[in-house]
Amino acid sequence: MTIKRIGINGEGVGYYKRKAVFIDGAITDEVVKAKITKVERAYLQAELVEIEKRSPDRQKPPCPVYELCGGCQLQHMTYEAQLKAKEEIVREAFSRYADRRELPLRPIYGMEEPWHYRNKAQLQLGWQQDKLVAGLYAANSHKLIDISECTVQEQPINEAYKALKQLMRELDIEPYDERTRSGSVKTIVVRVAKASGKLQVTFVTATDRLPQQRQLVEQIRTHLPQVVTIAHNIHKERSSVIFGAKTVILWGEERLPETLGSVQFALSPRAFFQLNPTQTVKLYDAVKEAAALSGHELVVDAYCGTGTISLWLAEKAREVRGVELIAEAVQDARSNAQFSGIDNALFYEGKAEELIPRWVQQGTRPDVIVVDPPRTGLDAALIQAVLQAKPKRFVYVSCNPSTLAKDCRELLAEGYELEWVQPVDMFPQTAHVEAVILMVRK
């Protein structure tokens, strides 16, 4: 069959008797042979067997463990083709879920250098024969894939893991083994501050104590002078989340300082922060452009996380109110505001779909509402509150074009117009696509 487009998970999509067929690794316009592996009512899943007509966009994946790891989905395509595919994913979502065939779609913001951009890694530790490995478990398996030469992680992170593994070996610190329940270190989390090159290292252990703690700290300070924080998190339970409840700072600063534009952040080991700082600046600048602030506006930033968008906009607003579900993130948002000397950004803990409708009921009328929800999109109660509050500008930041388009459909039917859609490539080499849209009240 002929591949018609790239689907939301990076797979090639073709049609067989009018049914969609999803084929991992196939590229638009290629003619391929594939073997059906799964039959569903609405679609077929198939495995690529042979490429009869090869796309000029196909390239050899630079990463040696691309197929095994599963963290990236588009390394077999040139970067230019990846960007084009992401624009088409957004276009397709609006056509399918918002009935909009004509879309004010702007060219995607890509990266000049689409490699080594990720500022944080959380790698599992384990033995592969007599080699200590830091990596990721392959999808649905117990096989640890060594990603010590990861092509999307910042290079200082790769180098830090190399040094940390070496130190663990020298000090005989064992990785945790789930089967035998022996050893200690489950995960090492390394974060780098783009502005300064400083590193934050967190050891997650299955044991109360981090073995050889004193020597380990000393050695890290000697061999990795860029490290400013060494933290220890205890996570005894067996679960898919990385962190346990308790974190202690073993040495150094409690928070990693980071700068984006003119805004300062201080990141505690567990704080959420965008993973691609270079593209985050472009994303937030698109939000700023969409908000078009003059200094008099009341802005609501829903799903604000650690307050990054609020702080980005505060300088040009009368007041910004951030709303966030997770208490720790709200604390971080407040300290980031203080740290940056911003006093007109206030942060509220709660559900956006509860707090914002309540404010609107009480008569609050924001001039601009910005939302940046999780993949599931907006709650119906929040959409209703927006329609009732009638902000002049509604700015939607989304990591899921399908829910974005569905939510937009409702606003488009109720007096809003779509001014523009700006896709941003936050995660080159993967199928993820982020978009900022501006809606204006008619």
Residue whose CB is less far from ligand SAH, 372 or 425 = 372
Kindly state the tokens that stand for 45.
């899943």
**Residue 137 near residue 150 (C-beta atoms within 8 A):** no
**Among all residues, whose Cβ is closest to ligand SAH?**
305
**Residue 396 interacting with ligand SAH (CB under 6 A):** no
Task: Find out whether 283 and 399 touch, Cβ atoms under 8 Å.
Answer: no
Rounded to a whole number of angstroms, the minimum distance from the CB of residue 307 to ligand SAH is 8
Residue in the block written with tokens 């995607």:
108
Contact positions with ligand SAH (CB under 6 A) in 317-346: 323-326, 329
Among 274, 400, 402, 429, binds ligand SAH (CB under 6 A): 274
Q: Is 374 in the site for ligand SAH (CB under 6 A)?
A: yes
Q: Pick from 383, 359, 358, 365: which is nearest to 373 by CA? A: 383
The verdict on 220 binding ligand SAH (CB under 6 A) reads no
303 is in an annotated binding site: yes
- Measure the CA–CA gap between 29 and 85, rounded to whole angstroms: 12
Number of residues that bind ligand SAH (CB under 6 A): 17
347-382 b/e with 16+ CB inside 10 Å = b?
bbbebbbebbbebbeeeeebbbbbbbbeeebbbeeb
Q: Which tokens is 11 given?
A: 């797979």
Residue reference for tokens 């196909």: 58
Residue 277 in the binding site for ligand SAH (CB under 6 A) = no
Least separation in angstroms between CB 388 and ligand SAH = 18
Is 185 or 329 the residue whose CB approaches ligand SAH more closely? 329
Closest CA to 306 of 276, 329, 274: 329
Nearer to ligand SAH, 304 or 405 (CB): 304
Residue 52 C-beta: closest distance to ligand SAH, Å = 43
Would you give the binding string for ligand SAH spanning residues 282-321, x where CB under 6 A is met? Answer: ---------------------xxx--xx------------
- CA 245 from chain center: how many Å? 22
Query: If binding is defined by CB under 6 A, does position 272 make contact with ligand SAH?
Result: yes
Q: Is 395 in the site for ligand SAH (CB under 6 A)?
A: no
Backbone φ and ψ for 298, nearest 5 degrees, come out as -95, 125
Q: In the annotation, is 69 catalytic?
A: no
- Name the residue type at position 154: E
* Residue 125: CB minimum distance to ligand SAH, A: 28
In the complex with ligand SAH, the residue whose CB is nearer, 39 or 327, is 327
Nearest-approach distance from CB 122 to ligand SAH, in angstroms: 17
Q: Which of 63, 150, 304, 399 is catalytic?
A: 399
Kind plus residue range of the DSSP H or E element containing 229: strand 227-234
Dihedrals phi, psi of 63, to nearest 5 degrees: -80, 130
Tokens 């040139």, residue located: 78
Residue whose pair of structure tokens reads 């487009």 in the numeric block: 5
Closer residue to ligand SAH in complex, CB, 26/436:
436
Determine whether the annotation assigns residue 274 to a binding site. Answer: yes
Per-residue CA distances from 200 to 120, 163, 254 (Å): 9, 14, 9
Nearer to ligand SAH, 251 or 303 (CB): 303
With tokens 């930033």, the residue in question is 301
Question: Using the rule CB under 6 A, which residue among 351, 390, 406, 409 binds ligand SAH?
Answer: 351
Is 437 a residue that touches ligand SAH (CB under 6 A)? no
Our finding on whether 158 is near ligand SAH (CB under 6 A) is: no
User: Are residues 120 and 436 in contact, defined by beta-carbon separation less than 8 angstroms?
Assistant: no
Q: Residue 130's CB: how many other CB atoms inside 10 A?
A: 5
Q: Write out the binding residues for S-adenosyl-L-methionine.
A: 274, 303, 324, 372
Catalytic residue set: 399
Binding site for ligand SAH (CB under 6 A): 272, 274, 303-305, 308-309, 323-326, 329, 351-353, 372, 374
Q: Write out the binding residues.
A: 274, 303, 324, 372
